[in-house]
Structure 1
Amino acid sequence: MLYKLEGIVIRSMDYGEGNKIITLCTEHGGKVGILVRGAKKPKSRHGALAQPFTYGQYVFFRNTGLGTLNAGELIESHHGLREDIFKAAYASYACELLDRVLQDEDTGAFWFRQLKACLEALESGKDPQVIVNIYELKVLQAAGYAPQLEECISCGRPCAQDEPQEWISTALGGVLCRACKHFDPAAASVTPRTMKLLRLFARLDLTRLGNVDVSESTRDEIKGVMRRFMDAQLGMQLKSRNFLDQLDKYEFQ
């Protein structure tokens, strides 16, 4: 059966001497695996369509399982992401996270738009750490592990906006009020600015993201909170995140 879908390459792997197998996040067909014959050859007419982060239109045959590319059209190459090692690392993390967390039936128009917006924001030069943290919150929400940030995870009391500090329990999955803090002695204390931004990020749609100005200290605190949430709720070892950690160490040496 012949299919024609728009999609973004979230994974690309060599297959045989000259071929590649790509995984697409598509707008209307979930995740799709496609064999691209000859993609590794220098003069391949389909080589660009098999590059990571590429957004294109793909025409392929598939009965069951893996499809075979017949034709395609490049819509956005995102070569700017691949040419910058830091942008490429963040983009790879966004793609691997989606690929690992969401099942085929979970991906659709919403996730296609979120990933597309994420890659566009990264390529445009917006703060990659902020972009990825918002994206991580969207992934947690889609996977059913959204942190409770508006009210105490223990007693349900609405969080006061004028508290000088609040506590987040990644083990319990949300904020704790002062009276319930003892339920998790390991709960992390966070500043009001960090909590305000986390609540904003949870409500944001990446497709509507403007410029978000975040200080270095707040960005580091948000990164720490999100790292603990991702580890506690998903517990996945991602190669792309390990590479990001190595780049962080290199950047600040």
Structure 2
Amino acid sequence: MVRELKEVEGIIFKRQKYHDADLLAKIITEKNGIFTMLAHGALKPKSKLGAALLNFSYGTYVVYFSGHGLSTLRTYKNVEQFDGLYDDLIKNAYASFILDLVDHAFMEYQNLGKYYDLTKFALQKIASGTDPEMITQIVQMQLLAAFGVEPELRHCVICGQDQGEFDYSIKNGGILCKKHFYTDPDRMHLKPKEVAVLRTIFLLPFERLGSIKINSSTKKATRKAIDRIYQDTIDINLKTKKFLDELKLMD
């Protein structure tokens, strides 16, 4: 197999011991997708590789790049960490869920395009103290298209109306205007403000959404709505999501 030596910018989000002193580290990269690197000797006491492969580390990694299967880490440079994510249980849980969700949306080595920037934006915002629940909801809504489930939130899926009162219909794959509510008795029955939040965090560029603030009851309702959308259209069960839900029960 011919391997190319290249520099990749990326974020480490999973690691595990491999053999006695080696590490496997999963990385989400700007241009080369998500893949796993083998780091020989990273667990040896004198090795500096281990510290550069902690979860939520980011920077430039020099890799013998395979394009499929394992690539091999040679060295690194300019590696930092998202401050506060590693040691803060709540921030760690939200960040881990986001990275896990992105990982499941793409094939190995598949170019992520704008979703790399979305992921980095989300981690930066959570690390800086922005409401992690709201940032996670933004990611979940904007990631639907990557899963092949892109709802119509610009206008009513039946008549094209883009102003007025709306509700979300999973059966119809998007929003219904009030005069077409009757077409789906199982629509979500969301309040107008809740639908407005879903539309906003789906349609607006994510870099404009970092300071969005909503009250706790609306946020809880949109969380439940997004959970239902994922459950009924994608149906993935992630341990990181289960852990988040358990933490919310502890609140």
- Residue range with higher mean Cα deviation, 230-239 or 3-12: 3-12
Q: Which residue of structure 2 lines up, in the alignment, with residue 30 of structure 1? A: 33
Aligned AA (2:101):
L
Q: Which residue of structure 2 lines up, in the alignment, with residue 56 of structure 1? A: 59
Residues 105, 156 of structure 1: alpha-carbon distance in 2 compared, 3 angstrom cutoff: farther
Q: How far off its partner does 1:54 sit?
A: 1.3
Q: Which residue of structure 1 lines up, in the alignment, with residue 13 of structure 2? A: 10
Number of aligned residue pairs: 247
Structure 1 residue ranges (4+ consecutive) displaced by more than 6 angstroms after TM superposition: none
Give the Cα–Cα distance (whole angstroms) in 1 for the partners of residues 210 and 99 of structure 2.
Answer: 22
Q: How far off its partner does 1:126 sit?
A: 0.7
Q: Which residue of structure 2 lines up, in the alignment, with residue 90 of structure 1? A: 94
Q: Structure 1: state its 5+ residue gaps.
A: none
User: Could you list the per-position Cα deviations for residues 19-62 of structure 1 after superposition, in whole angstroms to 9, with x for gaps in the alignment?
Assistant: 22112111121222211123334543011221122111111223
Aligned AA (1:90):
Y
Q: 2:116 matched to 1:127?
A: no
Give the Cα–Cα distance (whole angstroms) in 1 for the partners of residues 109 and 156 of structure 2.
Answer: 32
Give the Cα–Cα distance (whole angstroms) in 2 for the partners of residues 14 and 183 of structure 1.
Answer: 54
Q: Which residue of structure 2 lines up, in the alignment, with residue 182 of structure 1? A: 182
Q: Choose from 30, 35, 39 the match for 2:42.
A: 39
Residues 22 and 36 of structure 1 are in contact (CA less than 8 Å); yes or no, is this contact kept in structure 2? yes
Q: Structure 2: state its 5+ residue gaps.
A: none
Give the Cα–Cα distance (whole angstroms) in 2 for the partners of residues 209 and 35 of structure 1.
Answer: 36
Give the Cα–Cα distance (whole angstroms) in 2 for the partners of residues 53 and 191 of structure 1.
Answer: 37
Aligned AA (1:62):
F
Give the Cα–Cα distance (whole angstroms) in 2 for the partners of residues 10 and 183 of structure 1.
Answer: 43
Please tell me the root mean square deviation across aligned C-alpha atoms, in Å. Answer: 1.9
Q: How far off its partner does 1:94 sit?
A: 0.6
* SS across alignment from 2:91: helix
* SS across alignment from 1:207: helix
Residues 186, 116 of structure 1: alpha-carbon distance in 2 compared, 3 angstrom cutoff: same
Q: Choose from 147, 150, 162 the match for 2:151.
A: 147
- Aligned identity (percent) is 30
